[in-house]
Structure formats: C-alpha cells, structure tokens
Structure 1
Amino acid sequence: MSGICVCASLSSVGPGLYLGHYLLRMNPILLLGGLAGAQTMTAGMAAVQDRSGSPVAVLGYTPAVPIVHILLTTWGTVIVGVMAN
C-alpha cells in the first residue's frame, strides 16, 4: 500500500519538476518551493530552505498554497458528488 502512495505523490512532482525546469526554465529553489506548496507540505518547504540556505523558496510556496486549498475544497465536493451518483 505504501508503494501506491509513493507513486501517487511522485506522479505530480515528477512532471512538475520536468516541466518547470526544462520547459519554463524556473529557478530550482522557486520551483521546489512551488511544488512543496502544491502539496501543502510545510516540511518540504522548510527542507528546501534549509538545504539552500535561502528563504527564496517561500516565494514559490506562498502563491501555490491558497490555490491548492481552493482546488481541494471545490474538487473534493465535485468528486464526492460524482461518486455518490
């Protein structure tokens, strides 16, 4: 079961890393902060800050978190409604 959880988590991070780094040419620290924000993972953002020695990751984390909270709330309701029918 834990292997499925790891695959589910990495299925969004892997393409996000690839597209952000190679297609959008984003700063790696901002990109990792944004991906941590997309998963609402404060510990991940703190780890990026700690390893980089810079608070720049917060600039990627901050806009991603409210967007994800809105999407989780709305799409969670939609999915429950669809599954109930």
Structure 2
Amino acid sequence: MKNVRFALMAVAVTLAAGTAVATSLQNKAERAETKYYKTSTGEFAVAGIKDYDYVCAWDHFGTCTYTFDSATGTYKPSEAGKILFLR
C-alpha cells in the first residue's frame, strides 16, 4: 500500500511541476507578442507595454488588445476588457 501511495504522490508532484513550467513559458511567450488595439476608425495600432502604457479594465463585451496572426493575416483577440491608456 505504501508503494502505491508513493507512486501516486510522485506522479502528482511531477504533473504539478510540469504544469507550472508550461504555464510560465506560455505567459512569457504571450507577453513577448506585440499587442494592438482597435482605434475608433477601425484600424489597429500598437498598444505599447501593459501596465506601463495601458491597462485593461473590466468590460463585459469588449476586447482590450489583439495580436496579429501572420498565418491568416488577421488580428485575433488577446485580452478581454476595455483599454485605458496611462501615458
């Protein structure tokens, strides 16, 4: 019984560590992408650096920032909310 418990605990710890590493790598890659916002004329402009140039405030139906998908040539929603510029 102790061997089974040890094996299950080892699997749980390994899975937790792997999930933590994968999540941190995904967050770093997402931050490295250029973020765009939609202007009032419908064009897209570079948003800048999050928490330095802008913040995303809560908005139920809005999209705060977009990323450019070079494979399809379209802008895809990246963060939900409403963009508020700090600078």
TM-score in terms of structure 1 length: 0.29
**More strand per residue:** 2
TM-score in terms of structure 2 length: 0.28
- Between Structure 1 and Structure 2, whose CA radius of gyration is higher? 2
**More helix per residue:** 1
